[in-house]
Structure 1
């Protein structure tokens, strides 16, 4: 089987799987059962906790390899695994940098990120991702870059994510991606977020839906959600088409 036939067969299988109600139900149940065990915290990328699901890590890798961005902007740094992940891909590609934003970059995390062998491709901004100064600094860093990708993974409340979408969507270049993480909050039991400000109808998914009502430059890349089956970002992979 040649590459073209392999890909066509793969696409057919993905479409069939996406219509399989048993697969959807099983995936949802599995996600819900493992979430309470902090499943996404169990993995590292080149030594740093990445706090992502393996399926989403693979999806992000495919996107980065295909579009080969000059700049990847990520809101939410945590322990820095995602920054290292993106930097490692850009190192293989041979170009590009990662800009991480977090309201509180803990000193021990900053130290580990800065001493990592891939730190040369990483820059960080400490501040709220929706603060006027932060946004201005991000736009300054993006100036002159021809291919830009944005990943939103900080505060997961509706208002915060909606502002991030409004502020950072113009930076995303055509045919690149704006990825909204933790849209899965809308599908999980409310008891999981008892101590969080986000909830069933106040989350990244509700913000994404409102954003797309007034924005025709992006569309949901449903094939990514369909082929992953298990993802923290269902319908959260937005491709810029205009």
Structure 2
């Protein structure tokens, strides 16, 4: 039987294009899933990851395609996202070692995930540091936009050739906008900065009660304001189309 991979990908493309006609269904799904805390249902290699599975799949594709040697994540929560990023970096290292017929040391890899959070709970820190992928992870407890954090990242960035950034800390407009301005400088050409939880812009206001964000001020509004002032980043709409519904609609920003 001949290789039908081209036909497979064409069928996928056609199917993705057809999703554009299902906005009502998408909206209904988002409201139902958010109201029922669907994003809290999943673990990644033993630690909770508070994401939609669609975004988990999109993120692993991005990491595998770009092959960064540094991923910076703001917002750690229970650690599952850090572990996912570390696991894909480890698999990239494994592939490169396989191709070169060499070995890797998972306790001392060259690739790294830096996780930044203003409040890393002791029990979460312990679970991350005890994980078999902890050699890939560095934890920083501080505000993601503090001068101290920025100075440290600037001192480290020259050690890496390809950098990707995930923003998932404070979801207020001003904070995300400041993160976008500060962290975009680290993203390398062809890589991404992702603003998570831009979905709050698409949900009923009842989901934002008691929060520092709302339908008029949130990660998505921060993304749109950020994009007004520069030309090197653009929204990768193909990701939104592909995964159908997301916690980060219009939040996957690719650097040219």
Shorter-chain TM-score: which interval?
Answer: over 0.9
1:142 Cα offset (Å): 1.9
Q: 1:130 maps to what in 2?
A: 145
Q: 2:41 maps to what in 1?
A: 42
Task: Spell out, residue by residue over 1:103-126, the C-alpha distance to the aligned partner (whole angstroms, 9 max, x if none).
Answer: 000111001100000000000111
Q: CA–CA distance in 2 between the matches of 1:120 and 1:235?
A: 32
**Over alpha carbons, which structure has the higher Rg?**
2
SS at match of 1:143: helix
Q: 1:65 maps to what in 2?
A: 64
Task: Spell out, residue by residue over 1:21-77, the C-alpha distance to the aligned partner (whole angstroms, 9 max, x if none).
Answer: xx2211211111121221111100010001010000000010011111100000000
TM-score (norm 1): 0.95
1:16 Cα offset (Å): 2.4
Question: Structure 2 matches for 1:1-242, cutoff 5 A?
Answer: 2-18=4-20, 20=21, 23-94=22-93, 96-241=111-256
SS at match of 2:114: strand
Q: CA–CA distance in 1 between the matches of 2:46 and 2:140?
A: 22
Of 86-95 and 180-189, deviating more is 86-95
SS at match of 2:36: coil
Q: Gaps spanning 5+ residues in structure 2: where? A: 94-109
Q: CA–CA distance in 1 between the matches of 2:207 and 2:15?
A: 33
Superposition misfits of 4+ residues, deviation over 4 angstroms: none
Q: CA–CA distance in 1 between the matches of 2:154 and 2:241?
A: 33
Contact 1:219/1:238, CA 8 A, preserved across alignment: yes
Q: 2:103 maps to what in 1?
A: none
1:143 Cα offset (Å): 2.0
1:194 Cα offset (Å): 0.7
Q: CA–CA distance in 2 between the matches of 1:200 and 1:83?
A: 28
Q: How many pairs are equivalent?
A: 238
